[in-house]
Structure formats: C-alpha cells, structure tokens
Amino acid sequence: MTFLLQRDNEILEDGVWENVMSAMSHIDELKLAGGDTWVGLMLMAKATHEYSQTRVDLDTVLKLICILKVNGLQLSTTYGDTIGVFLDLTLIKINHNCDGNVMVHRPTYTNATGWPHRQPQEKAMLKLLPLRDIAEGEELTMSYVDFTDHVSKRQRYLQKNYLFTCTCDKCAQDTAAAKNLLDTDPRQAKQQARWWEEVDTHLQSPKTGPHEIYTIAILTKVIEGMESQFVFSPATDPYPHAIHELKLLHLDNHESVDKALICALKEHFFVGPAICTSPFYPLRIVNAIFVLQVFALLDDAFVPSPGQHPKIVEQAKTIEARGLSRKSMKYWRLRICVDTQKRLRQSSLADLLDVLEMEQMSIEVSNRGISQELLNSAEVKRRGEEEMRELLGLKGERWDTLLRLGWTEYSPVYPNS
C-alpha cells in the first residue's frame, strides 16, 4: 500500500516502479489455476485498491500483488522469526535450491529502536550470507522454503506459491530415501509418515490452553518414539521440527524450563550438525544463543533474588538431580559461548559477536573469576562431558557419534590462557 501511495505522490526514485512491474507475475497461470489462492489474491487486490484510494487501476494492483506473491521472500528477525514478506529486485534473481549456498540475514543493529535514523553511517538492512565455501563461477542459490520440511511439503509449497516443481539434488535424495525406506521397511515408512502428519497437524494448531498441553504430549511421544529406533537419525523428518517446537513450548511454560534446556541441547548437539553441515550456519548459531540464555536462567536461579520465579529454582535443582551439576552447567555455558564466538569470527555473522561478548561478560560475573579453570581443566572437562551424557541419556556407539558431532568440531580454549 505504501508503494502505491509513493507512486501516486511521485516520490519513488526513477525507474523503481518500472523495474518492479517488469518482474514476473505469473498472473495468467495463477488465474488459470483458480481455487482459494486466486480468490485470495483478488480479495487482497480489491481491499488494497479501495483502502488506499490509489489512482493506480485495479488490474495493475492485482498484478503487483501477484508479483509479490511469486517473488516475495520471508522477512525474518535476526533470530529467524518470520515477521513478513519483502521484495528485493536483486535477490529475486537468485534461483531456488532446497540446499542453497546463501541466505538472507537481518543484522542485529536493525533491531535497535529508531533504526536506521540513529545510525552514524548508512548500513544495510539485509545481508546475503554464504552458507559454505562457494566455488568461482558457482551459481548462487537460496532456499525459498524451510529446508528441514519433508520433501513432499516443500514440493507442495513451491508449486502453490512459486509455480514450479523443484528438481534439486536434495529433493532427489530425499525422494529416493523415502522410496528406499518404503521398499525395505514399509512398516517403518508408514510409522514415519504418521509421525510427520501428527507433528505437522499440531504445529498448525493454536498454542494456548488445552491445545498447548496436548501438543506438548504429542511432540514428546513422537520424539521419544523416534529416539528409541535403532536406525534413528536426528535429521529424519519430523524430528528437527518436533524438537525445535517442543523447546519453545517448554520455555513458554515456567514449569518446564529444564525440559526446554534438554530439547535445546539435543538440537545443539544432534540436530544442528546433522542438518546444517556448516558449523556457522545461522540456525546453529541462534540455537547456541538460545541454549546460553536458558543456562543463564537456570544458573541465576541458584542465587536467590527478589521477584525470582519459584518454579525456575525447582527446575535448576531438577537439572542437577538428573545428572548435570551446577559446575558442569557453568562449564557448558562458557564452553558453548566461546565455541560460538569462534564460529562467528570465521563466518559472515560478525554482527552477532556483540551478543556473545555480552553473554561472556555475564558468565564472567557469574563464575567469579574461575573461567580459565572451567575450560582448561581436564578433570572439569571430563566430568562435564560425562554429566552431559547422563542428562541427555546417551547410550551406545550411535549416540557417541552424535554427541561427538556437536562438540569436537572445535576445541575451545579460554582466550588469553
């Protein structure tokens, strides 16, 4: 609507209107497909036209809505929460791949109140980040979908919203893996399909009252069922979605922060390395920050203070009772913080370093000067790793492999030691 009003008042920069309107709209294909999608686009165009009182005719507004529909990208916060859709004439030239080599990132400074008017110099609102090493001459691609979604869901979404069928290597591999499972173990394939349907259904349901309690129960059942399989992989659908959503639901409930920590640690150690081959993939960085914040919440509970939630104090003791001592909590809190800073310095996400540096300052205060001992003591390290295994219930060689993926990629050493 703002774009239309800027057009009416002739305050758009030269060529912007023409460049936007020259983008692919697929309006004829959308009209031919009909259905709820076309009805929704028509209603949106009419509402925008009438409410804005624009001088632009309705057919042009409809075309503009279709352009946004097939070219728009999700606008997210720094931490990956979707807050809208945006259109960028450069980024729309980047083709889709479910295993894309770049992604759009919104730097932390854009979260500041009054940005960008209070910035001393002009800074970009969005950055294009490489997700791995990109060879000279290699095409830049990005995923228009959640790459952790089941291949069938990704295909439906892309066909409905972007009008094409994806033929990328990831889709081919996922389709082949699903077919292979169906051929070799049809019972397991059907069970996995049921799990996915249950998780997908409940992720779309309201997250309040009885619905929230029931969703927590369903997600817990699915996660425990998948973890009990001998052939379990943390990258297998729908485990990544289930563990991520359960983590958030537990954190919203002050009676389950300890359970939120366990889910977040599983996502940090198991899911992240399994689905994000790059150690500095934003998804892994953001989850590491989440883990640190929950550790801080529980660690602070050991020091009584006014207004402290009594349930948090109980949950900190519950974590201890389940095998992770307070000293080991401090060890892992500092170790993950230092490890994540190292990853950030090797990536294009340097703007997040401020967040980690503030977190480390908080840890220094909490640890009262024993940080070097925490990271450099072989005994503290051994005990911390044993207790983490106890907390997560790790057993057998497959779990050893999964845990190793999470914390031996780097060997953090306390700075200046």
The domain that holds 133 is classified in CATH as 2.170.270.10
Q: Which residue range(s) make up the domain with 327?
A: 254-407
Give 229-245 pLDDT, tens digit per residue: 867 788 888 999 999 99
Tell me if residue 129 falls in helix, strand or coil: strand
Question: Is residue 63 located within the same domain as residue 85?
Answer: no
Count of domains observed in the chain: 3
Question: Is residue 179 located within the same domain as residue 286?
Answer: no
Give 253-309 pLDDT, tens digit per residue: 667 889 999 999 999 988 888 888 777 788 888 889 999 989 988 887 777 666 667
82 φ/ψ angles, rounded to the nearest 5 degrees: -70, 130
Question: Is residue 155 located within the same domain as residue 26?
Answer: no
Instruction: Give domain status of residue 231, yes or no.
Output: no
- Residue 249: burial class (beta carbons within 10 Å; 0-12, 13-18, 19+): buried
Question: Is residue 274 located within the same domain as residue 320?
Answer: yes
Question: Is residue 46 located within the same domain as residue 161?
Answer: no
- What b/e readout covers 48-72, taking b as 16+ CB neighbours within 10 angstroms? bbeebebebeeeebbbbbbbbbbbb
Question: Is residue 349 located within the same domain as residue 373?
Answer: yes
Give 172-212 pLDDT, tens digit per residue: 999 998 899 889 989 988 998 899 888 888 877 766 667 78
Spatial contact of 29 and 163, defined as CB atoms under 8 Å apart:
yes
Instruction: Give domain status of residue 323, yes or no.
Output: yes
Place 119 in a pLDDT band, splitting at 50, 70 and 90: low
Q: Which of 71, 86, 114 is the last residue of a domain?
A: 71
Q: Which of 51, 71, 91 is the last residue of a domain?
A: 71
371 φ/ψ angles, rounded to the nearest 5 degrees: -65, -40
Average pLDDT over residues 159-180: 91
Please choose, from the candidates 218, 259, 258, 262, the residue with its C-alpha nearest in 3D space to the C-alpha of residue 242: 218
The mean predicted confidence, pLDDT, of the chain is 84
Query: Residue 80: pLDDT above 70?
Result: yes
Tokens standing for residue 267:
């996502």
Question: Is residue 9 located within the same domain as residue 79?
Answer: no
Mode of pairing for the β-strands spanning 82-86 and 73-76 = antiparallel
Give 335-357 pLDDT, tens digit per residue: 888 888 888 887 778 888 888 88
Place 371 in a pLDDT band, splitting at 50, 70 and 90: low
Question: Is residue 49 located within the same domain as residue 78?
Answer: no
SS3 letters across 169-233:
HHHHHHHHHHHHHHHHCHHHHHHHHHHHHHHHHHHCCCCCHHHHHHHHHHHHHHHHHHHCCCCCC
Question: Is residue 63 located within the same domain as residue 155?
Answer: no
pLDDT of res. 242 = 93
- Residue 381: burial class (beta carbons within 10 Å; 0-12, 13-18, 19+): middle
